[in-house]
Chain A
Amino acid sequence: MRRASDFEGLEKIRRDAVLAWNDLFGGNFPLVCTGMSTCGISAQACQTEDALKAELAGRDYPVKFMEVGCLGLCYAEPLVYIKKPGLPMVCYGFVTPDVGPSLVSRVIEGDDLWKERALGVVDLPDVKYQGVALDIPSIWDHPMLKPQVRIALRNCGIIDPENIDHYLARGGYSALAKALKTQPENVIEEVKRSGLRGRGGAGFPTGMKWEFCRKAGGSEKYLICNADEGDPGAFMDRSVLEGDPHSVLEGMLIAAHAMGSTAGIIYCRAEYPLALQRLDMALRQARDYGLLGEDILGSGMDFDIAIKEGAGAFVCGEETALMVSIEGQRGMPKTRPPFPANAGLWSKPTNINNVETFANLSTIINRGGDWYSTIGIGRSKGTKTLSLAGAVRRAGLIEVPMGMTLREIIFNIGGGIPDDRACKGVLTGGPSGGCIPAVHLDTPVDYESLTKEGSIMGSGSMIIIDERTCIVDLARFFLTFTQRESCGKCTPCRIGTRQMLEILERITRGEAELCDLATLERLANAVKNGSLCGLGSTAPNPVLTTLRFFKDEFEEHILRGTCSSFVCKDLTSFYIDPERCRSCGICAENCPSDAISSQLKAEHIIDQDKCIRCGVCISVCPEKFNAVTRRSGKKVVQCG
């Protein structure tokens, strides 16, 4: 076992790691890499890899297989990269298990580049291999990747996250060495100069936060990484933890040195089992190399990190609730002061930062805070990882400079809306944020601009919606979530969210009156102002922004009893168009409530009293007929 007891020891390990990394690409064997994060696995990446291995078993030449994290092009998963001797590495998309055998015969064993399936050449500037130029563009020029600036995601989709040597080969832990040779106060200055702000959502200046904690006295000081990522729709932290866990560990070590922290904890949600597994592995590897434990690299610093699993409570993403949860209690936030920097976990000085905040630190230390602050806009320096989902062609994980507009993100990077539908809006900040309407798509993505539109940056989830989303139902969905997740401590939050939800539910059922909107707004302001923590104070945001920008939809539900998006079940009915129906009987066979009267060759009619609006008939009606439609308003009564 190799252990670096000083900086020179670390460099020796690194030199070997660089050689091995280059050998991987310069060898005389094909290299097959499969994107293996949870998103890839959900697309059957495991089965794809198994199919490739089965196909290549028993060959008389060696083939090397490697698993990498997620490059961020989730829409095209499973992703497989193939590197043949003498040629550059090419990334192929949509490689489902059934495609495996063709990929082997055409590309690995044959001379076919299969350009139609190729997403691009994965050229890595730090690798020495020279391959001949191919008539395939670089993956970094792919429209989804080209506008990105990848700092937190620099290694994701490139290295094997379960191999610390890959991290070292690409410069990993060099920033730690540099920081350990620097006075802690100067490290804090560097972070302050960078302008880095907390990436978890609050956006508090990181350097300043560290300074408060550094100044706190005492022999015990905790450093916590908030990997709870409770925002539904967000998966930035999951991607970093699964794709490059060492970037987080290195960031924590740098922070620990700067603040004098004595013990570290990563609080990671239980819903991320792969992230937990890779973190655990990374911690063991770091300990083996002497990067965690006692007298790290001979600097005199003792520091180790433990993992604490979350147990499924959104409110535990709030720092005081998180700490109380680590202490084994119900996750109910506490008043501040005292601030965690002075009295946090077990009443000791504690600093909490988000995964992405830590993942940025090594680059800031290596390239300097001044360099980092040249990226971004206004008071929002650097980059932001965003999880792009919803009604968008290219859903996935991206990292862009602060200040890029929503329009550029959705249309240039995301490829626009599928089926050429119109964009209705963008949800940012999850259940604490809001819906920015399509007319404001030129809003830059930075802390201040999004707040001005009534939303927030939040953790970085970005869900695009089109006309098939009912805004009222959306507001109801968010309130259902925050109401359920409310810890119950503060009366305005506990009761206010329940009352707001009750009104929203009545609106979706067509049982509300116009005056309910005024009550809704009053309640929203009461909850916002009367809540102790971020959950309560931001829970009304989805309601306030949708009332601000989409009031007409609320009024439509109330005054006309219709839902133009055909989402609200009580205001929607299903109808079989007799002109398109070919009486095949499939809908009737599958209807769970026996609501479709049908005889072979006779007209199919939906009994509106029996219909439960489950949508099964729509999903089973053959596409060539497409005979089931949704209507809103007065129910269509058909006589048989």
Chain B
Amino acid sequence: MEAKIRALLEELPKKKGALIPLLQRVQSELGYISQDAVVAISEALEISESEVYGVATFYSEFRLFEPGEHQVKVCLGTSCYLKGGRELLELLSRSLGIPPGRTTPDGRFSLETVACLGCCSRSPVMAVDGVVYGNLTLAGAEAILADLDSQSQ
């Protein structure tokens, strides 16, 4: 882990202000910010673990739990909320059997909310593995996940 973190740090242009870009790279490479990663980052940047943890927990982008194979992010921005985003989230939460901020026990899907994807003209919206889907119906959203599920198997 330490070697990995140092390698990622080397890739960054500057060490000054590097904590957030480093956390972003760690998450991009390893999927989330684990406890080991926090320790290794604190050593690499010579700052306290609590400072690293404080920054990781401040920003909603950072995930402290291992994500699923497929990451589902339901938008709960104002427009999506008013157009059924909450019902969509509840449906997916029931279907997957997990609350938002968790991964299914089999590791296939993780469910998160995001404040706004900026796709408000096509609410309600969700992003699955980075692909944005708009104008969703409850049935449509379930079909997208079912499709992914059957593809992976």
Q: Which residues of A contact B (CB under 8 A)?
A: 38-39, 41-43, 74-75, 77, 229-235, 238, 270-273, 306, 308-314, 325-331, 346, 387-391, 395-397, 427, 430-431, 461, 463, 465, 469, 474, 477-478, 481, 485, 487, 592, 614-616, 619-620
Contacts and interface: CB of A to CB of B under 8 A. Distances in A.
B107 interface: no
Given A234-B120, A330-B54, A42 B87 contact: no
Interface in B61-106: 61-62, 76-84, 87, 90-91, 94
A619 B133 contact: no
Contacts of B80: 232
Contacts of A427: 78
Contacts of B55: 328-330
With a 10 A CB-CB cut-off, give which of B24, B60, B79, B132 has the most chain A CB atoms.
Answer: B79
With a 10 A CB-CB cut-off, give which of A233, A310, A469 has the most chain B CB atoms.
Answer: A233
B65 to A, nearest CB: 15
A614 B61 CA distance: 28
Contact of B122 (A270, A271, A395, A619): A395
B60 A233 contact: no
Interface string B1-43: 0000000000001001111110110000000000000000000
Main SS class of interface, A: mixed
A42 B132 contact: yes
B58 A330 contact: yes
Given A313-B60, A331-B58, A619-B139, A389 B121 contact: yes
Nearest to A239: B118
A395 B115 contact: no
A328 B17 CA distance: 4
B20 A38 contact: no
Contacts of B61: 270, 310-312
Contacts of A310: 61
Given A42-B132, A311-B62, A272 B118 contact: yes
Given A42-B132, A389-B123, A430-B78, A309 B24 contact: yes
A461 B114 contact: no
With a 10 A CB-CB cut-off, give which of B13, B20, B83, B132 has the most chain A CB atoms.
Answer: B20
Contacts of A314: 115
18 contacts: A271-B114, A271-B116, A271-B117, A311-B59, A313-B58, A325-B20, A328-B17, A328-B18, A328-B55, A389-B123, A390-B82, A396-B121, A477-B78, A614-B94, A615-B84, A615-B87, A619-B137, A619-B139
Contacts of B120: 232-235, 387, 389, 395, 461, 463
Nearest to A466: B82
Contacts of A346: 16
A421 to B, nearest CB: 13
A43 B122 contact: yes
With a 10 A CB-CB cut-off, give which of B17, B23, B61, B120 has the most chain A CB atoms.
Answer: B120
Nearest to A345: B17
Given A389-B120, A615-B138, A619-B137, 6 more contacts: A328-B18, A331-B58, A388-B121, A397-B121, A463-B78, A614-B94
Contact of B82 (A43, A75, A309, A465): A465
B78 A232 contact: yes
**Which 7 A-B pairs give the minimum distances between C-beta atoms?**
A232-B77, A42-B134, A74-B121, A311-B59, A312-B60, A312-B61, A328-B19
B52 to A, nearest CB: 10
Contacts of B16: 327-328, 346
Interface residues of B, number: 49
Contacts of B145: none
A330 B114 CA distance: 19
Nearest to B132: A42
Contact of A230 (B20, B115, B134): B115
B116 A231 contact: yes
A234 B119 contact: no
A481 B114 CA distance: 11
A365 B128 CA distance: 43
A17 B1 CA distance: 49
Nearest to A231: B116
A231 B78 CA distance: 9
Contacts of A229: 118
Contacts of B118: 38, 229, 234-235, 238, 271-272
B129 to A, nearest CB: 12
A592 B13 contact: no
A56 B105 CA distance: 46
Contacts of B59: 311-313, 331
Given A232-B116, A395-B120, A614 B135 contact: no
Nearest to A306: B13
Given A272-B118, A313-B58, A427-B78, A42 B133 contact: yes
A463 B78 CA distance: 8
B78 A77 contact: no
A465 B77 CA distance: 14
A481 B115 contact: yes
